Chain A
Amino acid sequence: GDSVTQMEGPVTLSEEAFLTINCTYTATGYPSLFWYVQYPGEGLQLLLKATKADDKGSNKGFEATYRKETTSFHLEKGSVQVSDSAVYFCALPPLRDSNYQLIWGAGTKLIIKP
Chain B
Amino acid sequence: EAGVTQFPSHSVIEKGQTVTLRCDPISGHDNLYWYRRVMGKEIKFLLHFVKESKQDESGMPNNRFLAERTGGTYSTLKVQPAELEDSGVYFCASSQQGGPNEKLFFGSGTQLSVL
Give me the interface of A with B, judged by CB distance under 8 Å. 4, 32, 38, 41-46, 89, 91, 93, 96-107
A-B contact pairs, 22 of them (CB 8 A): A38-B108, A43-B3, A43-B93, A43-B106, A44-B91, A45-B106, A46-B104, A91-B43, A97-B99, A98-B98, A98-B99, A98-B100, A99-B102, A100-B31, A100-B33, A100-B93, A100-B98, A100-B104, A101-B48, A102-B43, A104-B43, A106-B42
Which chain B residue shows the least CB distance to A41? B108
A43 touches B41 (CB 8 A): no
Which chain B residue shows the least CB distance to A9? B40
For the complex, what is the distance from the CA of A98 to the CA of B100, rounded to whole Å?
Answer: 5
A100 touches B109 (CB 8 A): no
Which chain A residue shows the least CB distance to B4? A43
- Determine if B74 is an interface residue (Cβ-Cβ < 8 Å): no
A42 touches B108 (CB 8 A): yes
A interface, by DSSP: helix, strand, loop or mixed? Answer: loop
A43 touches B42 (CB 8 A): no
How many chain B residues touch A (Cβ–Cβ < 8 Å)?
Answer: 29
For the complex, what is the distance from the CA of A54 to the CA of B62, rounded to whole Å?
Answer: 40
Q: Which residues of B contact A100 (CB under 8 A)?
A: 31, 33, 45, 48, 93, 95, 98, 104
Top 9 nearest A-B pairs (CB, nearest first) are A43-B106, A44-B106, A104-B43, A104-B42, A43-B108, A99-B100, A106-B42, A43-B107, A101-B45
A106 touches B40 (CB 8 A): yes
CB distance from B52 to the nearest CB of A (A): 17
Q: Which residues of B contact A44 (CB under 8 A)?
A: 91, 93, 106
